[in-house]
C-alpha cells in the first residue's frame, strides 16, 4: 500500500467512530443509566429524584403481578418455539423434498405476514377472534362445534393462549426460509447414500437433515426467544392491553404501564434491568443446552 500508517488509522477511525458512538449512545449507555435510575424513586417529569437504594428491587420481589408477567412471557416463548419450529421444519422439508413446482408460491405466501406491522397483525387478529363475526367462532359454528365458541380475548383463561396463534402465523415464514436455506445446503449425496442403505424418509430426517441443519435450528430458536422477549409487548398492547384482569400482561407491557402510564420511572427502570438479566440468562442457558459438536459426514 502506498498510504502511510497514519492515513490508514485516520480512515479506520472515520469508518468506525460514527457507528461506535451511535451504538454506544443508543444501546449500551441506556443499559447503564437504566441501572442507575433503578435506585431512585422518580416520576420522570420532575427534577426531583430521591435515592431509595434497593427499595425498587424489594417492591419488585413483592409485586404479585411480576411473577405472572414472567410466566406469561415464557409461556409465549415456549409455545412459539415449539409451534413455529415444528411447522417450519415440516414445511421446509416438504417443500425441498417434494420438488413441487409451486414451491416459490408457497414461500411467498408463508412469508407474507412478515412484511406487516405487528400493530396491523394484532388488530386483524382481534377481529378474527371477535365473538360474533370473527373467523374462529364462525368456523367453529360452520363445523358444528358452537359449544367451543367463546369470547377468546375476553376470557381470562383463553386470552393468553389466543395470542400464540397470531404469533405463529406471523413468524413461521422467516424460519421456513432459514431452514430451507440450511436444507438446500445439505449435499444430495447424503440422501442418496441413506437411500441405498435403506433408510426410511423418517430415518433420513432424524439422521441426516436434523444434525446437518442444527446450526440453522439453533439460530432460529435463539432468534424466536430474543424477539419474543423483546416484542411480545406489542401484540399484548394491541390485542388485550394486558387484560382481562392482568391475564395477559408480559414484562414489557407491565414496564410500559408502570413507567409511561403511571409515571413510576424508577420502578420501570428496575423492571428493565430484570428483563435484561432474564434475557441474557435465557440466551446463555439455551446456548449451553443447544451446543452440539459440528456434524460433518
Partner 1 sequence: MKFHLFKGIRILFLAVFSLMMIYPLYWLITSAFKTNKEFFARPHSFPTNFSFENFTRAWEVADLGTAMMNSTIVTITATALTVFLGALTAYVLSRFTFKLKAFLMVFFLLGMLIPIHSTLVPLFTMMDQIGLLDTYWALILPYTAFELPIAIFLTVAYMSSIPKELEEAAVIDGNGYWGVFFRIMLPLSVPALSTVAILSFLRYWNEFVFALVFINDSTLKTLPLSLSIFSDGFSTDYALTMAAMTIAVIPTIVMYLIFQEQIMKGMVAGSVKG
| Span 32-61, contacts to partner 1 by CB under 8 A | 33-34, 37, 44
Under the binding rule (CB under 8 A), the answer on residue 151 touching partner 1 is no
Site for partner 1 in 233-272 (CB under 8 A): 233-234, 237-239, 241, 251-252, 255-256, 259-260, 265, 268-269, 271-272
Query: How far apart are alpha carbons 37 and 15 in whole angstroms?
Result: 33
Query: How far apart are alpha carbons 227 and 119 in whole angstroms?
Result: 15
For residues 193 and 283, which CB has a smaller minimum distance to partner 1 in the complex?
283
**57: preceding bond cis by omega (within 30 degrees):** no
Q: In the set 81, 128, 163, 236, which binds partner 1 (CB under 8 A)?
A: 128
For partner 1 (CB under 8 A), the number of binding residues is 103
Residue 188 is given by DSSP the state H
Under the binding rule (CB under 8 A), the answer on residue 140 touching partner 1 is no
- In whole angstroms, the minimum distance from the beta carbon of 166 to partner 1 comes to 9
CB 93 within 8 A of CB 184: no
Helix (H, G, I), strand (E, B) or coil at 40: strand
Residue 295 is given by DSSP the state P
Residue 77 zone, left/alpha/beta (φ > 0; ψ -120 to 50; rest): alpha
- In whole angstroms, the minimum distance from the beta carbon of 230 to partner 1 comes to 5
- In whole angstroms, the minimum distance from the beta carbon of 110 to partner 1 comes to 6
Under the binding rule (CB under 8 A), the answer on residue 226 touching partner 1 is yes
For residues 107 and 207, which CB has a smaller minimum distance to partner 1 in the complex?
107
Which helix (H) or strand (E) segment holds residue 5: the answer is helix 5-23
Amino acid at each position: 500500500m502506498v498510504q502511510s500508517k497514519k492515513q490508514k488509522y485516520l480512515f479506520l477511525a472515520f469508518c468506525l467512530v460514527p457507528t461506535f458512538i451511535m451504538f454506544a449512545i443508543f444501546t449500551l449507555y441506556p443499559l447503564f443509566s437504566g441501572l442507575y435510575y433503578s435506585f431512585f424513586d422518580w416520576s420522570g417529569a420532575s427534577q426531583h429524584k430521591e435515592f431509595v437504594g434497593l427499595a425498587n428491587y424489594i417492591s419488585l420481589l413483592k409485586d404479585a403481578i411480576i411473577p405472572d408477567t414472567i410466566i406469561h412471557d415464557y409461556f409465549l416463548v415456549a409455545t412459539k418455539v415449539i409451534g413455529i419450529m415444528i411447522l417450519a421444519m415440516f414445511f421446509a422439508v416438504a417443500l425441498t423434498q417434494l420438488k413441487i413446482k409451486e414451491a416459490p408460491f408457497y414461500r411467498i405466501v408463508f412469508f407474507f405476514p412478515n412484511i406487516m406491522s405487528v400493530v396491523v397483525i394484532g388488530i386483524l387478529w382481534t377481529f378474527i377472534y371477535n365473538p360474533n363475526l370473527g373467523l374462529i367462532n364462525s368456523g367453529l359454528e360452520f363445523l358444528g362445534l358452537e359449544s367451543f365458541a367463546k369470547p377468546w380475548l375476553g376470557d381470562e383463561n383463553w386470552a393468553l393462549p389466543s395470542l400464540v396463534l397470531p404469533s405463529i402465523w406471523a413468524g413461521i415464514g422467516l424460519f421456513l426460509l432459514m431452514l430451507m436455506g440450511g436444507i438446500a445446503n445439505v449435499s444430495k449425496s447424503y440422501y442418496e447414500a441413506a437411500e441405498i442403505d435403506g433408510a426410511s424418509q423418517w430415518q433420513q430426517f432424524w439422521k441426516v437433515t436434523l444434525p446437518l441443519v442444527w446450526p440453522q435450528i439453533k439460530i432460529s430458536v435463539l432468534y424466536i426467544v430474543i424477539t419474543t422477549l423483546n416484542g411480545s409487548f406489542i401484540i399484548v398492547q394491541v390485542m388485550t392491553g394486558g387484560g382481562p384482569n392482568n391475564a395477559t400482561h408480559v414484562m414489557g407491557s407491565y414496564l410500559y404501564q408502570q413507567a409511561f402510564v403511571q409515571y413510576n420511572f424508577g420502578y420501570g427502570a428496575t423492571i428493565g434491568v430484570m428483563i435484561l438479566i432474564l434475557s441474557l440468562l435465557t440466551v446463555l442457558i439455551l446456548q449451553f443446552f443447544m451446543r452440539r459438536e459440528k456434524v460433518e459426514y
